[in-house]
Amino acid sequence: MTDSTGAVLHTICMLILVIQSGLCTESPVSEWPSSTEDYDLLPSEPVDYSDFVSQCEKEDVRSFRQVFLPAVYTLVCVLGLVGNALVVLTYLYFKRLRTMTDVYLLNLALADLLFLLTLPFWAVSVVLGWVFGPALCKMVHGLYRLSFISGMLLLMCISVDRYFSIVRAASAHRHRSKAVYCSKLVAMAVWALSALFAIPDIVYSEEQPGDGSMRCRLRQDNSTFIYTTGLQLSLGFALPLIVMGFCYSVVIRTLLLARNFEKNKAIKVVIAVVLVFLLFQLPYNSVLLLDTITDVNATVTDCQLSKRMVLAVDITKSLAYTRCCLNPFLYAFIGVKFRRDLLRLLKEMGCLGSRSLLKLAVGRSTANGGRSSMVTDTDSTTTFSP
């Protein structure tokens, strides 16, 4: 009896131990999976990809640029080379550097010629990429900055010369013998200053891969980008605009008070000079400033807006480059004495016959009524000749 009782108690104890060990080793139930593999057991949900950043495709913009920019650059280059080359040839052939205006116009034509020589490189690079090597990349960038800054500063110098020649006519006449010498020093200073500002473009320009081909660009960091853009906006637009605005506003007021029958023609020329500068330079510099702000702050995230910004820069830049074609007509060809020398040069080169030369001379004399103007037909005011 005792043995049977002991066997029963032993069996009961064993059952209790088994139950307790099972309760201790059971895993607790959790609301979330205990391992990453258990996530596969969760019900799948659709993923929203709208917040993911996608690459902005600009193939249509590149196609437009490959047609538009080479066509515009070629046209500007051809017309600008012809006009500015005639200015340089006329001044050098007749050794016609008798006034400050003559010195500034010759240097302006040289600056425009240097600028125009860079356009074929940019036209080819738009279509084929930069295929000219790293040395020419630095040279073309430096030449572009040198010619651009010097051209703008020379336009500013011409406005200052017009101010002294018309508003301060008596003082300008007294110092006429020193004027040409001073203008040559000023022109040299302009070239030296422009060369100094072109050094960063030479240093930081380099070949960079892009769009499946090599591109000649400035180093893409904010400091370099801000420097080059700020330099172009300040010396290439703001400073010349302020000086030209002041000088030409005083010139117009002086001409309005003058008793001269051709003052209206001179005023029209002044207004044309200012309007051309504004119409051709203001859009590009405004877009350039906006593009710089958005690039530095990275505020443009919309693809369509980014593409429109690229197109705006290209179109306004092409418009600004067209100014090189108009400079000879606004600042040189419009002068009576320069026109005479140009016609003589064309005749001696065999490009113009004696009969055609006589017809042009007689026609111009008749249009002017056979008279000359103290304000518009003197050596010191060639720019405003009708």
Please provide the size of the chain in residues: 386
Please state, in angstroms and rounded to a whole number, the distance separating the CA atoms of residues 89 and 373.
Answer: 27
Which residue's structure tokens are 């090597």? 133
Residue 135 binned pLDDT confidence (cut-offs 50, 70, 90): very high
Please state, in angstroms and rounded to a whole number, the distance separating the CA atoms of residues 228 and 278.
Answer: 21
Question: What pLDDT score was predicted for residue 367?
Answer: 47
Into how many domains does the chain fold? 1
Asked whether 162 and 247 are in contact (CB, 8 A), the reply is yes
Q: pLDDT tens for residues 278-323? A: 999 999 999 988 888 877 666 556 778 888 888 999 999 999 999 8
Residue span of the structural domain in which 297 resides:
59-333
Indicate whether 147 pLDDT > 90. Answer: yes
Q: pLDDT tens for residues 8-32? A: 455 555 555 544 554 444 444 444 4
* 22 located within any domain: no
Please state, in angstroms and rounded to a whole number, the distance separating the CA atoms of residues 234 and 274.
Answer: 17
Q: What is the DSSP string of 56-124?
A: ---HHHHHHHHHHHHHHHHHHHHHHHHHHHHHHHHHHHHT---SHHHHHHHHHHHHHHHHHHHHHHHHH
Of all residues in the chain, the percent with pLDDT exceeding 70 is 72
Q: How many angstroms separate the Cα of 263 from the Cα of each of 155, 266, 276, 375, 386?
A: 22, 5, 20, 7, 9
Rounded to 10°, the helix 303-321/59-94 angle is 10
Asked whether 114 and 147 are in contact (CB, 8 A), the reply is yes
Q: Residue 324: in which H helix or E strand, if any?
A: helix 323-331
* CATH of residue 230: 1.20.1070.10
SS3 218: strand
Indicate whether 362 pLDDT > 80. Answer: no
* 129 located within any domain: yes
Indicate whether 34 pLDDT > 50. Answer: no
Please state, in angstroms and rounded to a whole number, the distance separating the CA atoms of residues 369 and 29.
Answer: 109
Question: What pLDDT score was predicted for residue 130?
Answer: 94
Q: Residue 217: in which H helix or E strand, if any?
A: strand 213-218
* 9 located within any domain: no
Q: pLDDT tens for residues 81-120? A: 999 999 999 888 887 777 888 899 999 999 999 999 999 9
DSSP percent split of the chain into helix, strand, coil, nearest 5: 75, 5, 20
Question: What pLDDT score was predicted for residue 370?
Answer: 43
SS3 296: helix
Please state, in angstroms and rounded to a whole number, the distance separating the CA atoms of residues 117 and 135.
Answer: 16
* 1 located within any domain: no
Please state, in angstroms and rounded to a whole number, the distance separating the CA atoms of residues 157 and 140.
Answer: 25
Question: What pLDDT score was predicted for residue 140?
Answer: 95
* 97 located within any domain: yes
Question: Two tokens at 307?
Answer: 């593409």
Question: What pLDDT score was predicted for residue 352?
Answer: 62
Which of 11-15, 192-196, 260-264 bottoms out in mean pLDDT, i.e. has the lowest?
11-15
* 31 located within any domain: no
* 25 located within any domain: no
Residue 210 binned pLDDT confidence (cut-offs 50, 70, 90): confident
* 383 located within any domain: no
Indicate whether 348 pLDDT > 70. Answer: yes
Question: What pLDDT score was predicted for residue 109?
Answer: 94
Question: Two tokens at 17?
Answer: 């131990």
pTM over 0.95, yes/no: no
Indicate whether 229 pLDDT > 80. Answer: yes
Question: Two tokens at 286?
Answer: 């405004």
Please state, in angstroms and rounded to a whole number, the distance separating the CA atoms of residues 386 and 382.
Answer: 9
| Average predicted confidence (pLDDT) for the chain | 78
Please state, in angstroms and rounded to a whole number, the distance separating the CA atoms of residues 227 and 246.
Answer: 27
Indicate whether 37 pLDDT > 50. Answer: no
Indicate whether 240 pLDDT > 80. Answer: yes
